[in-house]
Structure 1
Amino acid sequence: MKTIKGPGVFLAQFVDSEAPFNSLDGLCKWAADLGYKGIQIPTWESFLIDLDKAAESQTYCDELKGKINSYGLEITELSTHLQGQLVAVHPAYDLMFDSFAPKNVHNKPKARTEWAIETVKKAATASRRLGLTSHATFSGSLLWHTMHPWPQRPAGLVEMGFEELAKRWMPILNHFDKEGVDVCYEIHPGEDLHDGDTFERFLEATNNHKRVNILYDPSHFVLQQLDYIQYIDFYHEFIKSFHVKDSEFNPTGKKGAFGGYNDWGNRAGRYRSLGDGQIDFKTIFSKLTQYGCDVWAVMEWECCIKSPEQGAREGAVFIKDHIIEATQKTFDDFAGAETDEQMLKNILGL
């Protein structure tokens, strides 16, 4: 067993034009003052990290890490969720996803994909220079628009989609392997890797590449009505990153899993601040600890009701209270006694 590290916080949803959320120093002080021990850094926010410099300069990485450490914080992982998304984009989503990329590759899907692949590779090198062993990202999606198969999917479409997805990711995975860093895909609706079956399809398509791993976030499984507890039993060996985010699913006679095109506040499935949703975090922390998952417990805030400031304040305490100090003893050690082979035979009547 292994004690989970934390609490950590994903900075992406807290970035703002106002202080203290508009600078690395401001965010570090804010997080540390709330009791967080780690920060997950969104690499698309250039004022938090210059990914080009981080991939090229050990000095830059040492200085960045030193600044963060000076606040009593560690980097949990770098995140390339937005860039990873752009590794695989179906043309139907081109216009909306262009905003995630530099303007010079807008309306140029092939160039955008190449930019995304190289950018995620840079994050691998930066992670190694920063002493990190896990990286958080999205898989992207070529097949999501066929998730509900109408019209029916032609035979071989899914297999071809995952073959192409793996083809795009293999150079990235090989580079991460060279750098000694695991790629943790957030299993998430909208991505081709959105549940257990799709994760297994991708793993098979990459020939069981050892750097293919999981960012476990149970909130997305509640919205899919997937057993998020048993998921840990199936995939604990792949869970190398952990988002602590709550959610709830309250279907009515008008709406269910697909949400009726409503905004988040009016959907049957919606994200909530920690402790306000339906997720059994006590069991999750117990399972991850029992299986020895070496992860940071990183809060991600996406609540449609509670303010981010309150969610962050409460989140640090919530995670701290759920972290289990893994025992190195069994409760009945006091009753133990030295034995020998003859005593064992005598007990068995042999």
Structure 2
Amino acid sequence: MKGPGIFVAQFIGPDAPFNTLPGLARWAGGLGYRALQLPTHLDHVFNLEQAAASQDYCDEIRGTLSEYGLVISELSTHVQGQCVAVHPAYDILFDRFAPLSVRGNAAARTQWACSRLGLAARASARLGLQAHVTFSGALAWPYLYPWPPRDNGLIDLAFSELAARWRPIVDAFEDAGINLCFELHPGEDLHDGTSFERFAALLGNRQRCAILYDPSHMLLQQMDYLAFIDLYHDRIGAFHVKDAEFRPTGRQGVYGGFADWRDRAGRFRSPGDGQIDFGGIFSRLTQYGYDGWAVLEWECCLKAAAQGAREGAPFIQRHMIEMSRQSFDDFAASPLSDQERQRCLGL
């Protein structure tokens, strides 16, 4: 496992050092991070079109980061991936993620989003990356809770359409040799293991169709996020270090009752402040040979972002495990001959 990395999307802003890539790199490097996970929808920080077309631009980006001891962990298209599939109930809200030229035109917005994912595949290859992170978008999400009872074919059609939209994108990442990692996230049609399996099966269970593992979303769904690693470790291609807590009351539970984040039973917290067993997570990922990055995604309803970022790098570093190359009891090992083995067994 490599780390610590930091997803900078939540920190980009109008003021220095958060308004330029060199400023972000200087800030993150100074806090002890070794990699940046970069969003690709803000051209003033990272120009996706240039990165897809120009090796010189990619080399320049890598050179800028190396000055501060950093590399890119992954590129992110969460914003564009969301727009690959948008239920009409969310048209107005997600139109804001897209350029003015396609707003109000759902088909054009989808085409734009798919084209941006294609650029991300090429850019990731030019940058020498092994994984890319994104959202799936959602057509079926408004029908999550089956009341009134769902028509039997409704979810089948939604997933068939979702897979059809993503198939050429997965092809592009497969051709580029990049794992396309979907963050399993409520609000997306791919939000748990069951929904991911359904989607992956429609794409032929190709290995490049992978998972961004974020335990916070699983805790808030009351999933067993450690058993998830046991089940899907061969699919996990990226990892967000993000904490959460779930404290149900007599008033609300998983759904939160439309309360603000601070007042919800389930809340995101800075790493170490919530209920996630990161010791168990890092142990399991190490056990299964995960060789990607451990990337802080800071989201907390209480703690300031600056404090969360300062604490994040040492938190991840403390949990990193250097895989042992020998057994703890090798000192007592005593090789036996075939004849001695037979005698030990009374044969």
TM-score (norm 1): 0.98
| Greater Cα offset, 300-309 or 201-210 | 201-210
The answer for the alignment partner of 1:182 in structure 2 is: 179
Which residue number in structure 2 is paired with residue 162 of structure 1? Answer: 159
More deviation, 141-150/202-211: 202-211
**Aligned match of 1:236:** 233
Given that residues 85 and 162 in structure 2 are in contact (C-alpha distance below 8 angstroms), is that contact kept between their aligned partners in structure 1? yes
Cα drift, residue 108 of structure 1:
0.6
Q: 6, 15, 34: which one pairs with 1:37? A: 34
- The CA deviation at 1:275 is 0.6
Q: Distance in 1 between matches of 2:299 and 2:133?
A: 17
Query: Please, what is the CA RMSD of the aligned residues?
Result: 0.7
SS at match of 1:214: strand
Q: What residue in structure 1 maps to residue 132 of structure 2? A: 135
Q: Distance in 1 between matches of 2:119 and 2:339?
A: 62
What amino acid does structure 1 have at the position aligned with 2:332? A
SS at match of 2:133: strand
- CA deviations 1:4-51 (Å, max 9, x no partner) are 110100000000111111111110010000000111000012122111
Q: How does 1:322-333 map to 2 (within 5 A)?
A: 322-333=319-330
Match status 1:223 vs 2:223: no
User: Among residues 266, 270, 274, which one is paired with 1:273 in the alignment?
Assistant: 270
Q: What amino acid is aligned across from residue 200 of structure 2 in structure 1?
A: L
CA distance in 2 between counterparts of 1:270 and 1:97 reads: 23
CA distance in 2, matches of 1:262, 1:322: 33
One-letter identity of the residue aligned with 2:2: K
Structure 2 unmatched runs, 5+: none
Give the match's secondary structure for 1:154: coil
Amino acid at match of 1:97: F
* Whole-angstrom CA distance in 2 between matches of 1:89 and 1:340: 67
Please name the residue that 1:258 is paired with. Answer: 255
Tell me if 1:49 matches 2:49. Answer: no
Matched position secondary structure for 1:13: coil
Match of 1:89, SS state, is: coil
Counterparts of residues 57-136 of structure 1 (less than 5 Å)? 57-136=54-133
Aligned to 2:12: 15
Residue 282 of structure 2 corresponds to residue 285 of structure 1: yes
Name the CA distance, whole Å, in 1 between partners of 2:137 and 2:291: 25
Structure 1 residue 156, shift from structure 2 partner: 1.3
Percent pairwise identity: 56
Alpha-carbon distance, 1:337 to partner: 2.5
Deviation at 1:209, TM superposition (A): 2.0
Give secondary structure in 2 for the equivalent of 1:87: coil
Shift of 1:346: 1.7
Normalised to the residue count of structure 2, the TM-score between the two structures is 0.99
Distance 2:242 2:208 in 1: 24
SS of equivalent to 1:79: strand
Looking at structure 2, the residues matched to 339 and 56 of structure 1 have their Cα atoms a distance apart, in angstroms, of 61
Letter of the 1:104 counterpart: S
Q: Residue 116 of structure 1: CA displacement?
A: 0.2
In the comparison of the two structures, how many residue pairs are matched? 347
Offset at 1:339? 2.5
The runs of 5 or more residues in structure 1 that have no matched partner are none
* Structure 2 counterpart of 1:24: 21
Runs of 4+ in 1 over 4 A off after TM superposition: none
Aligned-partner SS, 1:192: coil
Determine helix, strand or coil for the equivalent of 2:10. Answer: helix
- Paired AA for residue 24 in structure 2: L
Shift of 1:210: 2.1
Distance 1:165 1:6 in 2: 33
* Greater mean alpha carbon deviation, residues 232-241 or residues 65-74: 65-74
**Which amino acid letter does the alignment assign opposite residue 5 of structure 1?**
K
Contact persistence 2:207–2:235 (CA under 8 A): no
Q: Residue 122 of structure 2: SS of its match in structure 1?
A: helix
Q: Which of 324, 337, 340 is the aligned partner of 1:340?
A: 337
Q: Which has the higher contact order (CA 8 A, sep 6+)?
A: 1
Code of the aligned partner of 1:267: R
Distance across 2 between alignment mates of 1:87 and 1:344: 62
